[in-house]
Amino acid sequence: MRRTYLVGPFLSTLSCWIVGNGTISLLPLYAMQRGASQAGSGVFLSFAFVCLALGTFAPGLLPKGFARRRLLVVAAGLLLMIAVLLTSHTRTLFGMAAGCGAMYFLAGIVFTQATMLTGQAAPEKERGAAMGILGMSNGVGSIIGGLGAGWLADHAGFVGLWEACGAVCLLVVVGALVSVEKAPPEQVTRAGSTRPSAALGLPLILIVASYFMLSVTNAVANLGRSLSMGHLGFSMFTINLTQVLSGGVTLVLSFGLGWLSDRIGRRPVLLASYFLTGAAMITLGLSSQLWHFCVAFGLTSAVAVCMAIGPAYVLDVVPRESAALGVSLFQAAFWAGNIAGPVTLGFAFERFGTEPPILASVLFPLGGVVLLMLIRGPRGMPATPRGGRGVAAGAGGR
């Protein structure tokens, strides 16, 4: 089946990933140039992720029959471009925080709506592959942003970097305009039953909680990389090369593991990704040379795989009419973890150095594995793979 419905969401998320992955490792350094301490740079990064979490969760509060997701992405893209350009001319830490907060909030809206547009348009038996292809935008964005942002920051300064990012944000609007929006699902699944509380069932809570723990690890990896490589004297371009490598690995894994999750189930693939993330943190904590950091961030691409496949798992276990809320909660958990990580471990880095907190953070993905193993019943197989009753039809009562 042709997957032309993926073109629009892919372009919109690609724009956000180019900007986000290209600048994420540089933001702590940018904040420190504006007067933030090492611990303060972690707080700054956490504030940006607070706004991103709010942006991903807010659309889940829209009415269940909301049918203007494309227009919402268009508006978010235009405002995002304005926020990026304003941030490029700020000279204070407060102004930078306000600009980045607006950028991340709007990017959160784009991510959630692009995922929902894809989930509504994709056939249920191909949902994992579709989400995997959408997740490849993360890898492509890491490569383009990683190669371009570090070079721009070194040669044109942060002003030139942000101005270039503003131009890239036009892709969000283009993607929204070519997106396919299907009619929202009916709110009633059976006669006389709307199952209003199904979206907050135990399986969803465990999925969201486990993903939160993995996301804390991701935040530690990003902050730890910036601080460790900065202390070792690596240039901004070299620091971003590790993001490029991670993006390349993500590009390969997202579609392949998404396709595999349609065959063997989502949970086994997610569990493998959690173990790979734990191995990445051990490698990062012991890194002292460039190739060490490259290996570590090649392994952390497993987090991006979870980001791609996780929404498909959520869509498998919640009723269709509650899909928007379920996906919003899942994606908000990722950014919430990126809030908790820098705030907590930014101070740990300042007190104990970078190595002990990074090594200790391996406990988070292992905790996530335990939570995923507590989910009983189906392993996250696609609904109605060969006919018959799908997982989503009966998961709410488990």
> What single string gives the DSSP state of each residue in 9-24?
HHHHHHHHHHHHHHHT
Tokens of 29: 């350094």
Q: What are the tokens at 299?
A: 């392994």
3-class state of residue 190 by DSSP:
strand
Q: How many CB atoms lie within 10 A of CB 71?
A: 13
Instruction: Encode pLDDT of 355-380 as tens digits.
Output: 888 888 899 999 999 999 988 755 45
- Neighbouring CB atoms inside 10 A of 155's CB total 11
- Pick 329 or 388 by higher pLDDT: 329
How is residue 322 annotated by DSSP? G
Mean pLDDT, to the nearest integer, of 86-95? 79
Q: pTM of the entire structure?
A: 0.70
Query: At 193, is the secondary structure helix, strand, or coil?
Result: strand
> Using 50, 70 and 90 to split pLDDT, how confident is the model at 184?
low
Ordered by start, the domain boundaries in the chain are: 4-182+197-383
Tell me what pLDDT residue 279 has.
Answer: 92
Does the pLDDT at position 254 exceed 70? yes
* Distances 296 to 20, 101, 253 between C-alpha atoms, Å: 19, 28, 16
Average the pLDDT over 213-230 and give the result.
Answer: 83
Q: Predicted confidence band at 122 (pLDDT cuts at 50, 70, 90)?
A: confident
**Residue with the two structure tokens 């724009």:** 15
Q: pLDDT per residue over 148-182, tens digit each? A: 887 887 777 777 888 888 889 999 999 999 888 77
Mean of the per-residue pLDDT values of the chain = 79
Provide the token pair at 119: 């989930």
* Axis crossing angle, helix 93-121 with helix 69-87, rounded to the nearest 10: 160
Phi/psi for 190 (5° steps) reads: -140, 160
How many CB atoms within 10 Å of residue 4?
10
Pairwise CA distance, residues 31 & 163, whole Å: 17
Residue 188 has pLDDT above 50, yes or no: no
d(CA 101, CA 84): 10
Whole-angstrom Cα distance, residue 10 to residue 172? 9
Per-residue pLDDT tens over the stretch 291-312: 888 888 888 888 878 888 888 8
Q: What's the pLDDT at 67? A: 66
Rg of the chain, C-alpha, whole Å:
20
Say if CB 69 and CB 113 are below 8 A apart. yes
Domain 4-182+197-383's class? mainly alpha
Q: Is the dihedral of CA 283, 232, 345, 25 positive or negative?
A: negative
Length in residues, the chain: 398
Q: How confident is the model at residue 346 (pLDDT cuts 50, 70, 90)?
A: low
